[in-house]
A and B are shown apart, each in its own frame.
Chain A
Amino acid sequence: MAEAVMSGVRAPAARRSSLRAIARRKPMIAFMMALPLILLILLLVVYPALYSIHLATLNRSMKRFVGFGNFLFLFKRDTFWMVVKQSVIFACTAVFFKTLIGIFLANFVHTIPTKGQRKWRGMLMVSWVIPTAISSITWFWLFDPSYSAFNWLLAKFFGTAPIPWLGEPLWARFCVILVNIWAGTPFFMIMYLAALKSVPEQLYEAAAIDGANWWQRLWYVTLPMMRNIISITVLFSLIVTFANFDIVRILTNGGPVDQTQIFATWAFQVGIQGNDIPLGASVSLFMFPILGVSAYFILRGVRRRSQEI
């Protein structure tokens, strides 16, 4: 199509102005190529996001404007503050352990001979590749109150009494975080492995000659070199973990008594199942601040990194 436009314009155009015409046409062609993307972003992301702000200011039947009424209502409810607390605990704990385990796993994989790395990396990635909903249902089965395979192992080797994995608030919180760590760690490992590969080998040799041991090399060479990519990954994962839905929804459905509810699951319960769309929208909007702050820092990190490279 663009070809037709180009040849169509050139024939009558005066020679002197044809390059200018190309210069003008080039942004036009580029704009046309990007137009579907622009429309998608505007219509299917920006508009719904803004619309959700509008929704949050309506009453339950969506007929009347209530301003900050929904938010004020939320602030007065204990469940809301519990959800805030649980979301923060959930996201921070999970991201912390994902980072920690990710760094260690990446180091282990990086240490072994290159030939075998692909195989180990592949095995460690399985948990990340399986759709989260599917692995969550598997974990749900592993945590089953009467047939829990974990309880069987614990009873067999330690004689422990059956643990009510998803039945008690504390254990349930532990479980949703555990599954999130299990599913998300490989992503961290991959990112850190890539970062590790970009650290020049000579630095390690120099550190070894300086007498640094494994820990010191990790602390003084590896981590400083990876600082930027670690922060990008952490912030990015913070957003994803904060907005998580599948794991909590399937494992506990927020229970017992809303003790494991996080923003996304509670918004779903209030908005879709409770049929109070404005309140659900208000709940989900509370993800905006953490999102905005993280996005700002990620963008800064990415820019910095691309300048370094």
Chain B
Amino acid sequence: MAAAVETASHIRAARRGSIRGSRRKALFWSYFFLVLFVVIFLAPPFYMLITSLKSSGEISAQVNPWWVFHPTLENYLGLLTEPNFVTFFRNSAVVSLCVVAISMLISVPAAFALARMKFWGSATLATGVFLTYLIPESLLFIPFFRIFAFLRDITGIEFLNHWWVLIIVYPTLSVPFCTWILISYFASIPKELDEAALIDGAGYIQMLTKIFIPVALPGIIAATIFAFTVAWADFLYPLAFTTSADQLVLPVGIVTTLIKGDVYNWGQIMAGSLICAAPPLIIYAFLMDYYIAGLTAGATKG
């Protein structure tokens, strides 16, 4: 429209830069780069799938590695009959579920208290939660290693090389962020809602269970996903604290035991990797929106 009032000599230039034209151009390039990046980003998982369907003969054959010519499920069947792998999966599942439960039990009430009920030092604690979240596991695994040995000497309980030790240490990774997400979700619930509940005669516990948890359900789902992902995917702690084959969780198990000496059974490793990657992928496929909302809420509000 602005172009119409321009002088004739400008019309051609104006049309090239017209909103519809530039929009079409932007769309074209957007799709072009999106396709390009999706190809790059999906190449490794695709290769994982392809390899997992190959026999060891085809893997070492000099053919196009990006395609499977004789698909077979022998790698998957091999894994399912391998007792170690089933143990890894079970350990991972039990650890992750316990960590999710513990994280929620700790962070939901704590976030409620921090978001709504001021008490002495609550602001400091909220900041502390955030700082704790920033402390990486690579800083803590060495002292933990020593503390567990130390505790064994005192209590006689062996912490190291037991899968359940992960249930103790994983909450240090999951709880701070879960609490942080939930604080921002709880804080976004209008204050009038608790006041209405207060007038309706609800106590603090009822306010939490009957109002806050149902209303902040998307946030709770996001926190649950986060806790699960952290517990399912962590590599450093299990690598440092567990060694026996029957105590390993999936990521460490796949990386350390399926590689026997120098012989890499790549078909089986990739099949195992895919099985390990599947639960998070499935969860994200269905609950991605909750998680993204929680992630961005946690990072932008506070």
A and B touch in the complex (CB under 8 A): yes
A: which residues have CB within 8 A of B?
1-3, 6, 26-31, 33-34, 36-38, 40-41, 44-49, 51-52, 55, 62, 101, 104-105, 107-109, 111-112, 118, 120-127, 129-135, 137-139, 141-142, 144, 147, 149, 152-153, 182, 185-186, 190-191, 194-195, 208-209, 211, 213-214, 229, 232-233, 236, 239-240, 242-246, 249-250, 263-264, 267-268, 271-272, 277, 280-281, 284-285, 287-288, 291, 294-295, 298-299, 302-303, 305-306, 309
With A36-B105, A306-B300 already in contact, 17 other A-B pairs whose C-beta atoms are closer than 8 Å: A26-B117, A33-B113, A37-B107, A37-B110, A41-B129, A45-B172, A111-B26, A127-B45, A131-B251, A133-B251, A137-B255, A149-B66, A209-B2, A249-B235, A268-B240, A272-B145, A281-B142
The interface residues of chain B lying within 8 Å CB-to-CB of A246 are 235-236
**CA of A131 to CA of B269 in the docked complex: distance in angstroms?**
14
> Are B136 and A131 in contact, with the CB atoms below 8 A?
no
The proximity string for B residues 8-41 relative to A, scoring 1 for CB distances below 8 Å and 0 otherwise, is 0000000001010010011101110110011011
**CA of A97 to CA of B132 in the docked complex: distance in angstroms?**
27
* Nearest CB in chain B: distance from A227 CB, A: 13
Given the interface pairs A2-B203, A123-B41, A133-B235, the reply to whether A243 lies near B142 with Cβ below 8 Å is no
**CA of A255 to CA of B25 in the docked complex: distance in angstroms?**
46
The interface residues of chain A lying within 8 Å CB-to-CB of B131 are 295, 299
**CA of A153 to CA of B47 in the docked complex: distance in angstroms?**
13
The interface residues of chain A lying within 8 Å CB-to-CB of B290 are none
Partner of B142, one of A112, A133, A284, A299: A284
Interface residues of B in 99-132 (CB under 8 A from A): 105-107, 109-110, 112-114, 116-120, 122, 125, 127-132
The interface residues of chain A lying within 8 Å CB-to-CB of B156 are none
Interface residues of B in 207-243 (CB under 8 A from A): 229, 232-233, 235-236, 239-240
Which residue of chain B has the shortest Cβ distance to A56 in the bound complex?
Answer: B142
**CA of A223 to CA of B143 in the docked complex: distance in angstroms?**
42
Q: Contacting chain A: which of B70-78, B80-88, B276-284?
A: B276-284
* Nearest CB in chain B: distance from A171 CB, A: 17
> Are B204 and A29 in contact, with the CB atoms below 8 A?
yes
Interface residues of B in 37-94 (CB under 8 A from A): 37-38, 40-45, 47-48, 51, 59-60, 64-66
The interface residues of chain A lying within 8 Å CB-to-CB of B127 are 299
The interface residues of chain B lying within 8 Å CB-to-CB of A139 are 44
**CA of A86 to CA of B113 in the docked complex: distance in angstroms?**
43
> Are B122 and A34 in contact, with the CB atoms below 8 A?
yes
* Nearest CB in chain A: distance from B284 CB, A: 5
Residue of B131, B270, B296, B299 with highest tally of chain A CB at under 10 A: B299
Question: Main secondary structure on chain A at its contact with chain B?
Answer: helix
> Are A268 and B236 in contact, with the CB atoms below 8 A?
yes
Answer yes or no: B4 CB below 8 A from chain A CBs.
no
**CA of A186 to CA of B41 in the docked complex: distance in angstroms?**
9
| 13 sampled A-B residue pairs with Cβ under 8 A | A1-B205, A2-B205, A3-B206, A26-B117, A40-B172, A49-B135, A51-B143, A111-B26, A131-B232, A137-B254, A233-B299, A245-B137, A250-B255
**CA of A26 to CA of B292 in the docked complex: distance in angstroms?**
33
Answer yes or no: B185 CB below 8 A from chain A CBs.
no
Given the interface pairs A45-B172, A111-B26, the reply to whether A122 lies near B288 with Cβ below 8 Å is yes
**CA of A6 to CA of B204 in the docked complex: distance in angstroms?**
10
The proximity string for B residues 188-214 relative to A, scoring 1 for CB distances below 8 Å and 0 otherwise, is 000000000000000111100000000
Which residue of chain B has the shortest Cβ distance to A38 in the bound complex?
Answer: B125
The interface residues of chain B lying within 8 Å CB-to-CB of A142 are 43-44, 47
Which residue of chain B has the shortest Cβ distance to A62 in the bound complex?
Answer: B146
**CA of A95 to CA of B69 in the docked complex: distance in angstroms?**
39
> Are A55 and B142 in contact, with the CB atoms below 8 A?
yes
